[in-house]
Amino acid sequence: MTSALEKLRQEFGGDIIQPGAAEYESASRSLLTPGSPAMVLRPRTVGDVCAAVTFAAGKVLSVRDGGHGFPGFGTNDGGLVIDLSGLADVEVVDSERHIVRIGGGATWGQVAVALAPHGLAISAGDTKDVGVGGLTLAGGIGWKVRKYGLALDGVVAAEVVTADGEVVRTSAAERPELFWAIRGGGGNFGIVTAFDFAAHPTTDVFHGRIAFPATEVATVLNGWSDYMRTAPEELTSVASFANPMAGGPKAPIEIHLVFDGDDEKRAATVLDPIRELGTVVDDDVALKPYGETLMDGVVPPPAVRIVNRSAFVDHDSVSDALRILADAGASEHAPLIAVRSVGGAVARVPDDATAYAHRQAELMFVTTIAGPPPVLDAGRPPLEALWASLAPHTDGLYANFTSSATDEDVAAIYPPETYRRLAAVKRQYDPDNLFARNYNIRP
Ligand SMILES: Cc1cc2nc3c(=O)[nH]c(=O)nc-3n(C[C@H](O)[C@H](O)[C@H](O)COP(=O)(O)OP(=O)(O)OC[C@H]3O[C@@H](n4cnc5c(N)ncnc54)[C@H](O)[C@@H]3O)c2cc1C
């Protein structure tokens, strides 16, 4: 151990943070999960990442980018954390093809700020502090998803440090199976130190929410999902209701949306059918720079835990799933329910082009309960009953919006053929399963 540590100190130029250090308390935890790792390593260069990975062999290892993962893979007790936040450069490397190289530890807020002067954007998530690494490797459903696809659909190449400490480049032409696997297979195959994304020129966009009373949840929800089937792909939207912070079952149903364009007349034509779904009680949709659509992250109080669960819904199950969700939203123990429209550009990519296996889903929804442990304990039985009634109408789950990490969850994320192909890549690049703290593909 000591000699390995001495070697690390010689080869590693980043920060080594151990218990007792001033930064340890903040460095030891990820956003939602406390931890007590023996050491947090913050590399500054790709060479540092190689040294850190070599040192990690045989240890419990967490890899952290934005630290926003729900299952808490970004920290552990007694093991090692490699915190990539020092690798956050964002550089336009090919201005004609709009290729942008992004460090594996950047956040989407940093990306939006860096790309704004170039008039470029990448289809990502909705929150500034979320990491490019975690969100992209498992999907990435954001405000441009219906027009440009998932965040991972924008990746054209990546630099990866594999379990043996080697730096490899992967793309459609270089190590294509690894390239397939990292787009949907999470952090199972190595540490991505840089992503090359094909960005898109962007104008300002219309962004905001249109709200309707709680009494209209069922009508608005059904009308919204019908409209999203044929709505232009510049429109991406999320229907959310039963927000416990706004009255739970009495909370309004809100359609949060982005119309990806700055033409006011066309935006009105596309958005007015949403306004006509019911009695509008609030409408703050306004033209703004794309970067301003991203929310500031919120750090929950230390005692608060968040339990998320997500699932996809195929076309034929939409009305049954929405009926059950609307009824749940009206009940005393309603969780927060958010339903995202997908389809569009996501569904046009062939199913086996990447390891993301849920391209044909029409909707993805998330239930959230939050609070100190006694509140969660009270909320769990009705939540489990809700999920039992939803089971016949859902298909798979979205890795980025799920707090648990059981074998059933892994099977719901990766259907058998996807899992089989991922396991073959895992055997090649991480046969000893060093990168195990994720929705794990066992070699
Ligand atoms: C407030 C909030 C808003 C969100 N909004 C959205 C949204 O709009 N759309 C959406 O799709 N998701 C969203 N998410 C979910 C988010 O995509 C996941 O929680 C994701 O895992 C967060 O990534 P991270 O890098 O911040 O997390 P981390 O906890 O740092 O990383 C999660 C895991 O990803 C892997 N990983 C991360 N970076 C790398 C890397 N460079 N190389 C190898 N492995 C890596 C590791 O296994 C790590 O444990 C949101 C989450 C929160 C908390």
- Rg over CA atoms, the chain: 22
Are 51 and 118 in a shared domain? no
- What are the C-alpha distances in Å from 53 to residues 163, 169, 193, 275, 426? 7, 17, 12, 52, 16
Nearest CA to ligand 1 atom 19: 69
DSSP letters for 22-53:
TTHHHHH-BTTB--B-SEEEE-SSHHHHHHHH
Coil, helix or strand for 233?
Answer: coil
Structural domains in the chain (count): 3
What pLDDT, on a 0 to 100 scale, did the predictor assign at position 333?
87
Are 230 and 355 in a shared domain? yes
Are 248 and 279 in a shared domain? yes
Please classify residue 287 by burial: count the beta carbons closer than 10 Å to its beta carbon, then call 0-12 exposed, 13-18 middle and 19+ buried.
middle
Q: Indicate whether 434 belongs to any domain.
A: no
Nearest CA to ligand 1 atom 38: 133
Residue whose CB lies within 8 A of the most ligand 1 atoms, among 60, 65, 102, for a mutation test: 65
Whether residue 76 has its Cβ less than 6 Å from ligand 1: no
Domain span at 119: 90-202
The 10 Å Cβ neighbour count of residue 174 is 12
- For residue 151, give the ligand 1 atom closest to its CA: 11
Q: Indicate whether 440 belongs to any domain.
A: no
- Residues 55 and 36: their CA atoms lie apart, in Å, by 18
Q: What is the pLDDT along the chain (443 residues), one digit of tens a residue?
A: 568 999 999 999 999 999 999 999 999 999 999 999 999 999 999 999 999 999 999 999 999 999 999 999 999 999 999 999 999 999 999 999 999 999 999 999 999 999 999 999 999 999 999 999 999 999 999 999 999 999 999 999 999 999 999 999 999 999 999 999 999 999 999 999 999 999 999 999 999 999 999 999 999 999 999 999 999 999 999 999 999 989 999 999 999 999 999 999 999 999 999 999 999 999 999 999 999 999 998 888 888 899 999 999 999 999 999 999 999 999 988 999 999 999 999 999 999 999 999 999 999 999 999 999 998 998 999 999 999 999 999 999 999 999 999 999 999 999 999 999 999 999 999 999 999 999 999 99
Are 349 and 214 in a shared domain? yes
- Residues 77 and 54: their CA atoms lie apart, in Å, by 20
Q: Indicate whether 232 belongs to any domain.
A: yes
Relative orientation angle of helices 373-390 and 318-329, to the nearest 10 degrees? 150
Q: Indicate whether 167 belongs to any domain.
A: yes
Are 172 and 242 in a shared domain? no
What pLDDT, on a 0 to 100 scale, did the predictor assign at position 158?
98
Residue whose CB lies within 8 A of the most ligand 1 atoms, among 400, 402, 410, for a mutation test: 400
Q: Indicate whether 329 belongs to any domain.
A: yes
Q: Indicate whether 426 belongs to any domain.
A: no
Nearest CA to ligand 1 atom 17: 135
Are 80 and 36 within 8 A, CB to CB? Answer: no
- Residues 311 and 387: their CA atoms lie apart, in Å, by 10
What pLDDT, on a 0 to 100 scale, did the predictor assign at position 302?
82
Are 261 and 376 in a shared domain? yes
**Domain boundary, last residue among 42, 65, 85:** 85
Nearest CA to ligand 1 atom 51: 68
Whether residue 104 has its Cβ less than 6 Å from ligand 1: yes
Are 80 and 94 in a shared domain? no
What pLDDT, on a 0 to 100 scale, did the predictor assign at position 226?
98
The set of residues, in sequence order, having a beta carbon less than 8 Å from that of 105 and lying 6+ positions away, is 65, 83, 84, 85, 86, 87, 88, 131, 132, 133
Residue whose CB lies within 8 A of the most ligand 1 atoms, among 42, 60, 63, for a mutation test: 63
Are 55 and 94 in a shared domain? no
What pLDDT, on a 0 to 100 scale, did the predictor assign at position 300?
87
The 8-class DSSP code of residue 254 comes to E
Are 182 and 65 in a shared domain? no
Whether residue 72 has its Cβ less than 6 Å from ligand 1: no
- What residues pair up with 107 in beta bridges, in sequence order? 131
E strand or H helix at 432? none
- Residues 338 and 238: their CA atoms lie apart, in Å, by 7
Are 146 and 274 in a shared domain? no
E strand or H helix at 386? helix 373-390
- For residue 438, give the ligand 1 atom closest to its CA: 47
Contacts 24+ apart (CB under 8 A), 106-110: 106/65, 106/131, 106/132, 106/133, 107/65, 107/66, 107/131, 107/132, 108/66, 108/132, 108/135, 108/142, 108/294, 109/291, 109/294
Give the torsion sign (CA, 384, 416, 441, 199): negative
- Residues 394 and 388: their CA atoms lie apart, in Å, by 10
Whether residue 126 has its Cβ less than 6 Å from ligand 1: yes
Which CATH number covers residue 297?
3.40.462.20
- Residues 432 and 443: their CA atoms lie apart, in Å, by 7
The set of residues, in sequence order, having a beta carbon less than 8 Å from that of 85 and lying 6+ positions away, is 42, 64, 65, 105
